[in-house]
Structure 1
Amino acid sequence: MQVSETNVSSLPWSRSLKIQSILRINRRSQTIIPEIKLSGRWLSEIGFTPDQRVNITIVNNALVIDLEK
């Protein structure tokens, strides 16, 4: 389902997620890094489908995720 800009702007979407940790191990050290996982039917409802590529941009300390053109 592709969602037009008018449909998206009328949706008051908000999600609350916990940032998880992931342990990255290499030969000399271990580092804990933050990880955010996004999944759910709501993604397809706003136009995202499997195997698409996305761009993630930081704007005013906010992550903006949009489809790669």
Structure 2
Amino acid sequence: MSYQEEKEYILMLITPWTVNETEAETWFHQQYIPALGCTANEALSNGHFDALNNYLSIIEVGGYA
């Protein structure tokens, strides 16, 4: 997948957890994820889509970061 496709996929996952798409986009760019050592945007930019996707899958089922 391209960066844009990965980003769209991640935003699709997290948008239901936020108030709206704007908040999801803000989270994507600004929220530091300690488990990954970076933001979601940085993770994708550095080729870590699988790690980000795994992290979000764990959070989705009630896991902790």
TM category, shorter: under 0.3
Q: If each structure's strand is expressed as a fraction of its own residues, which one has the higher value?
A: 1
- Scaled by the length of structure 1, the TM-score of the pair is 0.24
- Scaled by the length of structure 2, the TM-score of the pair is 0.25
Q: If each structure's helix is expressed as a fraction of its own residues, which one has the higher value?
A: 2
Structure with higher Rg: it is 1
